[in-house]
Structure 1
Amino acid sequence: MRASITSLNTALRHVPVWPVYAGSIGYPGWMLWRGVADRLGAEPVKVLEHALGEAALYMLVAGLAITPLRRLAGLNLLKFRRAVGLACFFFVVMHLLTWAVLDVQRLDEVWADILKRPYITIGMAGFFLLVPLALTSNNRAVRWLGPRWRTLHMLVYPAAVLGALHYVWLAKGVQLRPMIFLALVIVLLALRWRPVGGAVRRRGAAG
C-alpha cells in the first residue's frame, strides 16, 4: 500500500496545476452557454445559481480534504491546494453574481435579502471570510505575513461551516445532498483537530 501511494505521489509531481484553473473558468462558461441555449430547464437562472454554489462546495470540501489525506493516507496533493482554494472562491463569486445580477437584479433588494433571509446572511458572512484568503493566496503575501499567514487562513474553517449551513438552510426541509455536504465539512474539520494533551504526550515520549 505504501509503495502504491509513493508511486502515485511521484506521478502527481508531473501533473500540472493549470487544469484546475482552466476547469474553474470553463465550467461557469459551459453552464452559461447551456442557459443561453435554453438547456437549463424552466428556471435557468436558479439552476445556474445552484450549480455554481454546489461547485464551490465541492472545491471547498476538496481543499479541506488535502491535509487529512496527506496525514492519514500519505497522499500528497499540496501542490493543488492553492488552485483548489482559488477555484472555490471563483465559484463563490460567480454564484453570488448570478444571484445578485441575474436573479435579484436590484441593489436595494439584494441588501434587503441579506438582512431579511438568514441563509443569505450566513452565506454572505462565509463569502467575506473567504475574501482575505483569496487576496493573500500568493507567494508575496506568504512572505509578507510570515507565521500570521497560516493563522489568517484558518478562516477557511468557519467559512466552510457557514457555506455548508447556507446550503442546508437554503434547501426546504431535510434533503440528503446538503446534509452530506455539512457532514463532510464537519468530519474533515474534526480530522484536523489534534488534542493538546496528545501532542504533549507525544513530545514527552519522543524526548
Structure 2
Amino acid sequence: MTTTGPDNLPGDEPAPQRRATRRMRIAIVVATVTGIALIAVLAVVLLRDTGSEPGVAPPPSASATPTASARTTPTPSPTPSNTSPRPTTTVTPFAYQALWPFSSDAGAAAWQRSYRSGGHQPWHLDPEQTALSFTTGYLGFTEIDRVVSRSVSGNEAWIGIGYQAEGRLAHAATLHLVRISQGPDAPWEVVGTIDTTLTLDRPGTARP
C-alpha cells in the first residue's frame, strides 16, 4: 500500500522533482534576461565604435562638398572716394607796407617763378644786395654804396648802409627788410628805416 501526503499527492510529481523544475525555470529566465542585456550592451558598444548612435544620422565625410549657403563669399574692400577734401594751403598776408622792390605778394611770387625757371635776379635773396640796390638804384644815392652793419633774425633783417669818408666808413641809415611771399626762396622787401638820418615818408611803414 502506498501512502500519500501533502508533498506527494496523486497525479503530482514528487516534491523534490517539482523544486528542481522550478529552479530550472528561474535559471532559464535569468539566463534569457542576462543574454538580452548583454546583446543590448554589445550593440551600444558597436554603434559607438562606428561613430553613430541609434536614430542619429552619421556626420558627413570630410570630402563632402559644402553647400552654396556654407561657402564664404569674400567681401570687396571699399573703393577710396575721389571726393575727399584736398588739403588747403594757408597763405599769410604780408604784415608790412610793401615798399621796394615788390608792390605785393603777387609780384614777389611772379619773381619766384622766373627765378626757379631761369635764375632771374638772384640778388633778391640777399638782404645786403637788396638794401644797396634800394639806395643806389631806386633812391639814386650812388655814394651810399657800402654795408656797415648787418643783423638778420628769421624773416627780418636790419642792414646798415653808408659811405667811405676820410678813410673810414660812415653810417647813413639802417634799412628794415622783411621776406615777402612764401617758401625758402622768398625774396627780401624793404619796408622802412629805424633811424632819423634817412627817413621814408611815403609810403609809411606799417608794423604788424
Class of the TM-score when normalised by the shorter of the 2 chains = under 0.3
TM-score, normalization by structure 1: 0.20
Kindly indicate whether structure 1 or structure 2 has the higher relative contact order, using CA contacts under 8 Å at least 6 residues apart: 1
TM-score, normalization by structure 2: 0.20
The structure in which a higher percent of residues are strand is: 2
The structure in which a higher percent of residues are helix is: 1
